[in-house]
Chain A
């Protein structure tokens, strides 16, 4: 190998089977205290509903469980190990104080139905976080209830529908740019809106002429990601808002890329009517291998009557409580009040930053993305030369000539010690390499990344097979996804 990865070196890691394969009767990792009430006869209490057998549930000891999950954990890449340049996913540092304060007794053990008078601490957290997010977005009101970004989209579109319904005309469709996340059209379908695609112009922005042609009184809203998935700020954003508003439509903003804007510009100021945030992106709550997320939805005043119930409110005695009687509400989108544990973490993040820290964070995120763009320009094809904010999208056009595609380059990046960037998205860039470093990367880490990407580009020219066969350094090589889907094995079964 001509290029030696500077960031990573192979080392031994432990093999580990499935937990069921370690199980044997009589081992246990639990111990219950003695009962302080009389024992009961389950058969008598439950009758035919009594269960006698728990099938193949495992029986293992505590040390085995610790080793099992610790070994599994070492097979994962993580932000804690290094740069995670997944575009549009905003994989930033997850501060540990967040985890610590989320576990403080009264917050971790608070029951959602405990009386409001002994819930003032939790309610105060909801209130303070709401106020912060409202100022950050420049909106008028917010609901913290949605469990994730896509759930926020659904909540937002439900409010859009309720708003139009109250205007006497529910409308029929949602305009969605061809560069949008898949959740946008999927959400529109869940709220029974037809989806109409809106094409991008040559600079990667909304095609204003197309928007003008497609906008009419059947359009309920435009779902726009800004900066869009190319990392490009929609410079004509106010014109876009005006076109929609002139025909009574609403501007929905997907806040997935809010990390490019916090403290610098506010969606509420450039014409957005409703938007969701992803606390697990912009506000540092951990992704945890795919969740939990949290997707608050911020809105302009005119949408306030339609907020999901319950709504946090200050009572006449100065205490906080929930208001349930909201006749125009879209209803409840989940049980209880939302992913409260994520609210605690997001607020701790905001407190650790303050206004100056949040602004610096945004500036660093944009600086980092542009530094990488500069570093890789020329080596990889840049399909849109428009200035970018917090992420940059290259294509595999130059490498494809040698038969190497974006996924191959991504897999080779693993051997260099990095998590891959986002591949093959947005759809408007064939063979996309979508890179978002976030503010959490040092100059050294990014220099290593650029060096790795350049080395791979060299390899593509000199020895494409090495790239095509990558990764070479992982526990398993590329997995057979076709077989997995054709004959799904979705659970372990004992060998008979």
Chain B
């Protein structure tokens, strides 16, 4: 069939009536997905909606129980991820899976190296890698190891690799979750370029704004079914959310976040950080948090937000500067020191620094509290059970019971368990690093509500979020970090998207500088 003819009619990919069950529990029931030629197609849905299963079937990680898949005008069955790649479907994952210590060239050409006289033809390979990267207006030394570049560049390498494999369809699974806004803009340019050269993209994301910027159509999934497919421009954000949640539009709050209005009283300063410095990432950061206050920490990727809060928690070593807690000097050498003082810290990386996957919900939840549940070295399991059941109810954790392994829970429910890990010890200060990253809309709203209620009851919260609206709507006060310095502070009504973004991008403006002076 002629390519031109092919693109004129029909879809590049057509998945119909796909069903799949794991151990008898259906993950997909008759789902469908159509992607046109040179189309950027958004795939959205809450956690557990079946997006990942659908994609895994497409990329050969799991086999389908029933249904038809046609790709590029022929029946399609991927036996393995390699098979899918060879047939023209490449996937770019959230966690980039490349080889960090090898050069960009090697990463791009891995698996299809050019050979001459039986030896690797480095010259041709470097040339090809340079050529592919140049398509994204990236001019870098392709001989350098991958890990010497930032996440965004690494992602471009992953995309270049996909194109090198002559992909006709590129699947991007939450590609923007670890990028800052400038990097996202570059990625979107690349996606538009891919489209121009006839490549289709399936774009999976939790960030609705992004979909409107780059996608042509959207398919919404819920409970293993395809609920709706629509052109992006003929569906509103509220309709998207409503379809994902399976609710009427009228039921969805007009607020983008669930923080709403604050009722509690803001008290005295609890934590004061003065001139913190550690490594290259944190140069000079001063900030404070009051009792009953939610303080947001805004900044671009690499501004030093996570590094700063890790210093406060004793997870990394402080080189210079001082901390006080309740007006008393505070120098945590290890996380346990901060925990003993009533500080909880929920890391941005749930998988690597949060959950213990093989342990139960109960044990994960009481991990920080365990010493207090122990008498003579023996864990009081009755008391543990009472606490766990209390928090499962209070936070609405959806699990089969306290003994279920946490790995089997959805991201949102895992996050609730981790939140409970700290709430169970009744902390004074809770440090939340990206508390709602990668979890579904419903769980996100629930977590935001919980945080607000806790602050109303007097808990001090220090919150990092890369989602601007979360910081802006959720915080009583916002500190903006830029290149390891705190460059601006906004209080109450001063907090608005424009000023915060300006501070993130350019540092303090005149106005902010003066308001900061007033406070100190």
Real binding pair: no
Partner-B contacts on A (CB < 8 A): none
